[in-house]
């Protein structure tokens, strides 16, 4: 399994330069590195080479790839048709070809996340550096496993408990009709087979995101107040997704610039801007990504003994945070992001007895 590292911030070119420098640094340390970017010209120009939808070696231990959504969609379409054939006697997608498909809004994020998952699962890389959009779109992409798993969990249960679900599971009249169309005898047990496959992928994604030694991000900013404000907002939003922010990287020619008050308790690394491929000064100024990520504040801590849930929400104030409890889960809304917290059995079903916002932490008591 690889370390998956990405960078967040408003300045796209600065982020890309740091992603390249981070990839070069890890490669010189003997790690097998994949630098993955979007189908945009920034990376090829900075690397002074042409990139393709397939990984290609650009330096010892370092490969680079560009995620082209249309190509990824075409490749994944064949897998969709194979999955459909497992459950339908007469698949309906077999006459639809991947080359015909168009990429819908938001689909590119899902395709990129799946590509990262596949490269991670291949075992070919020790580190994957993702040079994405660096904004809330990237955060929503990384948060997809948790978000989708909530939909699968809740709607699957609603269906099973519905009259239709009970009829499919129990009716001796409908069972033969279902079996005539599908390749399986559809009972309550094997009804869950396809969703179990999905849940396995989602659980792996959630586990990786919760482990800072598997997935982490670093903020990239300049001294400009707008850049700083954007980075702080992304910091808080990342915590809502469950993504660990390991530190802040300040791109500035002035080593005396002090932004510690804006990003406490994160460590701040000041790095120079580079041009004309002079990467070494930037590489030398980069932090120890793994060490800093492992020491960063956890986005969420669940204390069963004291019946508390603590969420770290920097960049937000009390008025921007809303708390809702419906059923067995708790929903926290901060800024433009909503997170559903699946409580452990010891807390599930217990009513909230108190909540306070203190030192950037939302502390919920049960």
Find residue 271's DSSP bridge partners: 251
Amino acid 260: pLDDT: 86
Residues 346, 304: Cα–Cα separation, whole Å: 7
Map residue 331 onto helix, strand or coil. Answer: strand
Q: What is the pLDDT of residues 240-273, one digit of tens each?
A: 999 999 999 999 988 778 888 899 999 999 999 9
- pLDDT < 50 regions, the chain: 178, 182
362: tokens are 């939302």
231: tokens are 């980075």
Amino acid 315: pLDDT: 85
Q: What is the pLDDT of residues 315-364, one digit of tens each?
A: 888 888 999 887 778 999 998 888 888 888 899 888 999 999 988 899 99
For residue 182, what are the contacts with CB-CB under 8 A and spacing of at least 6? 87, 88, 89
Domains of the chain by start residue, with CATH: 3-73+99-148+205-295 (3.40.50.300), 300-365 (2.60.40.790)
CA atoms within 13 A on the CB side of 127: 26
Residues 221, 233: Cα–Cα separation, whole Å: 12
Helices assigned H by DSSP within 67-133: 69-87, 107-121
Nearest to 131 by CA among 47, 225, 227: 47
Amino acid 204: pLDDT: 84
**Cis before 347? omega within 30:** no
Residues 4, 207: Cα–Cα separation, whole Å: 13
């Amino acid at each position: 399994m690889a370390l998956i590292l990405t960078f967040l911030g408003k300045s796209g070119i600065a982020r890309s330069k740091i992603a390249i420098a981070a990839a070069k640094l890890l490669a010189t340390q003997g790690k097998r590195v994949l630098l993955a970017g979007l189908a945009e010209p920034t990376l090829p120009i900075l690397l002074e080479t042409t990139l393709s939808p397939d990984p290609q070696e650009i330096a010892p231990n370092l490969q680079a790839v560009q995620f082209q959504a249309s190509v990824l969609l075409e490749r994944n379409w064949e897998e969709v048709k194979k999955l459909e054939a497992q459950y339908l006697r007469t698949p309906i997608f077999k006459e639809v070809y991947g080359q015909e498909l168009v990429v819908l809004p938001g689909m590119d994020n899902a395709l990129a996340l799946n590509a990262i998952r596949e490269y991670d699962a291949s075992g070919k890389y020790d580190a994957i550096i993702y040079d994405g959009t660096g904004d809330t779109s990237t955060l929503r992409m990384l948060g997809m496993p948790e978000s989708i798993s909530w939909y699968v969990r809740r709607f699957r249960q609603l269906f099973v408990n519905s009259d239709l679900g009970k009829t499919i599971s129990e009716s001796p009249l409908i069972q033969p009709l279902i079996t005539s169309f599908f390749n399986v005898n559809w009972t309550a047990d094997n009804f869950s087979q396809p969703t179990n496959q999905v849940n396995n992928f989602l659980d792996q994604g959630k586990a990786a995101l919760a482990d800072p030694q598997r997935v982490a991000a670093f903020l990239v900013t300049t001294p400009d107040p707008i850049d700083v404000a954007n980075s702080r907002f992304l910091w808080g939003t990342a915590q809502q997704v469950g993504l660990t922010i390991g530190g802040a990287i300040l791109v500035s020619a002035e080593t005396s610039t002090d932004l510690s008050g804006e990003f406490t308790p994160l460590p701040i690394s000041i790095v120079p801007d580079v041009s004309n491929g002079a990467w070494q000064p930037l590489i030398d100024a980069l932090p120890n990504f793994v060490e800093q990520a492992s020491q960063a504040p956890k986005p969420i801590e669940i204390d069963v003994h004291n019946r508390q849930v603590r969420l770290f929400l920097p960049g937000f104030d009390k008025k921007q945070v809303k708390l809702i409890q419906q059923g067995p889960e708790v929903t926290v809304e901060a800024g433009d992001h909503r997170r559903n917290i699946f409580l452990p059995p010891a807390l599930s079903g217990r009513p909230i007895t108190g909540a306070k916002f203190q030192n950037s932490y939302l502390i919920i008591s049960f």
